[in-house]
Amino acid sequence: MDASSLSQFEPIALKEMNSVSLLKRIDTKFLTTESKLLEIIPELISDYKVLEIEENRLMNYATLYFDTEDLKSYTEHHNGRAKRHKIRMRKYIDSDLCFLEIKEKQNSGMTNKTRCSIVDIETVLSKKSIDFIKKTTKKDQVLKSVLYNYFQRFTLVNTQRAERVTIDSCLNYKTNDSTKTLQNIVIIEVKQEKQNTQTPVYKALKSKKIRTSSFSKYCIGAANLFTGIKTNRFKEINLKINKLIN
């Protein structure tokens, strides 16, 4: 994606955006193409600001996901378990920040994100990270790094209410053995304290007939790159991805 398409938004600094961190929130995702995204952007300029760090608006992210040997986190999501965890290390490359992040999906549909600052991505968990994960998840399990994910993101912040919108593109996956790129795919995620489908971004998406899609970066990457695992739950979304790519 070309960063120049974001030039008309007013900027918001990272420090200002922290007041809308929404670590406890409702997440709603949409799947579309880069060309459709460019049609939506002009409809959002008057109601949202864009995160800007050192004059950058289109940020680069690197993520490393952790799971058990038998991929318990992936399997719980695949099997539809309502309450589950995902564990990752995410590096915010342009701001040189790195966090160990634990996302807990609750029965209510709310997502809680807990995180702690780390120096850099750890391919092998340090004792400090192991202790943090155990304390947060209340589980004692052996975890290993299983999947890298790289993408670009820009973040919009609603000027009137507690709502953030992240837009991810240029998705790449990597394991020790293989890689996969999701060309032309864009993931739009609306993050709110309580779901409100009357905000400008919802209205813009509806006007372009872009509907909600269940999309987990980790699970889609795993389903496409790992062998010998169940993938039935993700066949529909993979068909949609392939249709958008082509």
For the stretch 190-241, pLDDT in tens is: 999 889 999 999 999 999 999 999 899 999 999 999 999 999 999 999 999 9
Would 3 be classed as within a structural domain?
no
| Residue closest to 135 by CA, chosen among 102, 176, 166 | 102
CA angle 71, 165, 207 (to 5 degrees): 110
CA separation for the pair 139, 141 (Å, rounded): 6
**Is 2 part of a structural domain of the chain?**
no
The alpha carbon torsion through 18, 136, 97, 159 (nearest 10 deg) reads -20
Closest CA to 186 of 36, 81, 57: 36
Most confident stretch, 128-137, 175-184, 189-198: 128-137
Residue 102 lies in a domain: yes
Residue 27 included in any domain: yes
Would you state the pLDDT for residue 111? 84
* pLDDT digit string, tens, across residues 92-105: 998 889 999 999 98
Helix 217-225 vs helix 235-245: crossing angle, to nearest 10: 90
Q: Which residues of 51-68 are buried (b: 16+ CB within 10 A; e: fewer)?
A: bbbeeebbbebbbbbbbb
d(CA 113, CA 103): 4
**SS in 3 state form for 73-106?**
HHHHHHCCCCCEEEEEEEEEHHHCEEEEEEEEEC
Torsion of CA 202, 205, 208, 211, to 10 degrees: -100
Residue 1 inside a domain? The answer is no
Residue 73 lies in a domain: yes
Q: What is the mean pLDDT of residues 154-183?
A: 94
User: What backbone phi and psi angles, to 5 degrees, belong to 139?
Assistant: -130, 145
Closest CA to 51 of 157, 201, 139: 157
Average pLDDT over residues 13-19: 81
Structural domain that includes position 215: 8-245
Residue 13 lies in a domain: yes
CATH code, 108: 2.40.320.10
Encode pLDDT of 64-97 as tens digits. Answer: 999 999 999 999 999 999 889 999 999 999 888 9
Alpha-carbon span 171 to 183, nearest angstrom? 7
Looking at the structure of the chain, the number of domains it has is 1
Which of 61, 43, 57, 60 lies closest to 4 in space, CA to CA? 57
The per-residue pLDDT for 21 is: 64
The CA–CA distances, whole Å, from 210 to 32, 186, 195, 217 equal 7, 11, 17, 19
User: What is the pLDDT, as a whole number, of residue 19?
Assistant: 66
In a domain, 147, yes or no: yes
